[in-house]
């Protein structure tokens, strides 16, 4: 009998509430404190990895080893619990005393690259099955070996199975090491630490969980009329082990809204199949019916797995399906098929120009920082590097110009604090009295990143 699994109502309401809360924010002076969070609670994510072992155990040609990515990448993943106050500000929380036990799922960690079309290629992955959060700050090590000549560097990110349903959905809390990582000669680079901001969830006030899992606000009100979407999930070749799933995403690629996870029957020739049946709200319109096989056997459906689609024949994609008033039986999902992979490395760029209302030609340095927390008075440049991204210029870069272009990469659908700073006297401290600053909203710097890149976010330095 098919097992219906709906995405837990945990996944979106909390993230959505955090973003909605930003709409009604009050204004305060740019040099206020961080409204309830100690920025020292963040973990250092400096741009330089430390080389632990540079020996070339491969014994091969040193010139060949100098290209591509060949070696071991290591680091620690920290989970920072937070909530959002009545002003929409991020407030850091301790795990100790908040939950009696860790309530969320595993952490998926992966190394990947993105091509010019935004397509992600995964080179290695690790899973932290039982994250350590107590005593604070906790933290768990990850490590993977990479060997590829296709790229010269990789990015590393971590995503938390927030709904604890064995699926890395497109709305999971995500963090990343802020710089591209390079390693050659079978060396080991360590210190590539990642902090994931995890929203607090009060399970006593959650939704009913009876609704169209990812929709209706993430599992809210449910629906009166339902239909069945059913058929067979097929692995075409290469099957050894691992569950399969039929999943429903919306036409923008967000989801899953519902999933049926099954252990397939192997065909003996590398194929495998399992029946599926998903209960959907009637008359909700067009959706994507997709398939996934836990091909890396890590217990999760994640972007590094094999993915497929509903097909009308072995070479024709049948998506989208239209979910109307009647059930949709006899649908075949083929894995692998097509190039769909759920985008759970949801990073977007924020860009614009930096100018100043005063002459900056004699300043020692300028900075644009995408921060995790609202900044304190007198921020050190070192603290800025612990944010999501940082772009900096020395005096030689800007002394003879009045405008700079900036570009920072940040997680999608989250809260950041986007600030520009000037280091007037070169003491390594910014936001001091008399030092011009700028915030993206002219007040707190708070910005909801959304799901697409944003340009034209111009910043004008001024003294406050």
CA distances in angstroms from 56 to 53, 72, 183, 206, listed in the order given: 9, 12, 11, 53
**pLDDT for res 279:** 93
Q: Are strands 459-461 and 347-356 parallel, antiparallel or unpaired?
A: parallel
Which pLDDT score is estimated for 9?
32
Amino acid 53: pLDDT: 40
* Residue 75 · residue 183 · CB < 8 Å: no
User: What sign has the CA pseudo-torsion 300, 305, 306, 311?
Assistant: positive
For the chain, what percent of residues have pLDDT higher than 90? Answer: 56
- Identify the pLDDT of residue 74: 98
Render pLDDT for 410-419 as a digit per residue (tens, 0 to 9): 877 778 999 9
pLDDT at site 212 = 56
pLDDT at 410: 86
Give the number of residues written for the chain: 464
Q: Tell which residue, 283, 392, 292, 303, has the closest CA to residue 333.
A: 292
User: Which tens digits make up the pLDDT trace of 59-73?
Assistant: 344 444 468 999 999
pLDDT tens-digit series, residues 334-391 = 999 977 666 655 578 899 999 999 999 999 999 999 998 887 777 899 889 888 889 9
- Alpha carbons 176 and 106: distance in angstroms, whole number: 16
- What integer is the mean pLDDT of 283-295? 95
pLDDT of 309 above 60: yes
CA distance 141 to 6: 31
Nearest to 121 by CA among 154, 143, 75: 154
Looking at residue 346, what is its pLDDT? 59
Cα–Cα distance for residue pair 244/108, rounded to 1 Å: 18
Q: How much is the pLDDT for 216?
A: 34
Asked which of 8-22, 156-170, 363-377 is least confident by mean pLDDT, the reply is: 8-22
């Amino acid at each position: 009998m098919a097992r219906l699994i709906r995405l837990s109502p945990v996944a979106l309401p909390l993230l959505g509430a955090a973003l909605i809360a930003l709409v009604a924010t009050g204004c305060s002076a740019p040099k206020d404190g961080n409204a309830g969070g100690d920025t020292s609670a963040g973990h250092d994510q400096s741009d330089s990895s430390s080389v632990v072992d540079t020996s070339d155990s491969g014994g091969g040609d040193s010139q060949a080893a100098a290209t591509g990515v060949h070696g071991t990448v290591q680091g620690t993943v920290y989970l920072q619990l937070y909530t959002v106050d009545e002003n929409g500000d991020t407030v850091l929380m301790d795990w100790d005393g908040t939950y009696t036990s860790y309530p969320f799922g595993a952490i998926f960690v992966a190394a990947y690259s993105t091509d010019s079309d935004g397509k992600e290629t995964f080179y290695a992955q690790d899973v932290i099955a039982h994250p350590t959060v107590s005593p604070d700050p906790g933290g768990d090590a990850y490590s993977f070996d990479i060997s590829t000549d296709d790229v010269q560097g990789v990015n590393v990110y971590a995503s938390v199975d927030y709904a604890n349903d064995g699926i890395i959905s497109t709305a999971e809390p995500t963090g990343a090491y802020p710089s591209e990582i390079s390693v050659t000669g079978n060396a080991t680079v360590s210190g590539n630490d990642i902090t994931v901001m995890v929203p607090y969830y009060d399970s006593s006030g959650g939704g009913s969980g009876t609704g169209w899992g990812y929709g209706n606000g993430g599992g809210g009100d449910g629906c009166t009329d339902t239909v069945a979407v059913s058929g067979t999930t097929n692995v075409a070749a290469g099957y050894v082990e691992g569950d399969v799933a039929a999943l429903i995403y919306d036409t923008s690629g967000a989801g899953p809204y519902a999933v049926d996870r099954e252990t397939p029957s192997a065909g003996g020739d590398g194929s495998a199949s399992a029946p599926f049946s998903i209960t959907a709200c009637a008359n909700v319109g067009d959706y994507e019916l997709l398939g996934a096989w836990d091909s890396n056997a890590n217990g999760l459906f994640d972007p590094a797995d094999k993915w497929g689609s509903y097909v009308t024949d072995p070479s024709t994609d049948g998506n989208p399906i239209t979910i109307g008033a009647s059930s949709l039986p006899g649908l075949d999902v083929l894995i692998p098929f097509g190039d769909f992979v759920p985008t759970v490395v949801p990073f977007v760029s924020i860009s614009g120009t930096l100018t100043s209302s005063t002459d900056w030609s004699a300043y020692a340095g300028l900075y644009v920082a995408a921060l995790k927390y609202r900044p304190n008075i007198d921020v050190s440049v070192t603290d800025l590097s612990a944010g999501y991204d940082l772009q900096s210029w020395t005096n030689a870069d800007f002394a003879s110009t009045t405008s700079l272009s900036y570009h920072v990469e940040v997680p999608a659908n989250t809260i950041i604090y986007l600030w520009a700073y000037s280091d007037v006297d070169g003491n390594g401290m910014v936001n001091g009295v008399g030092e011009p600053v700028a915030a993206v909203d002219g007040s707190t710097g708070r910005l909801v990143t959304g799901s697409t890149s944003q340009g034209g976010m111009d910043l004008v330095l001024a003294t406050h």
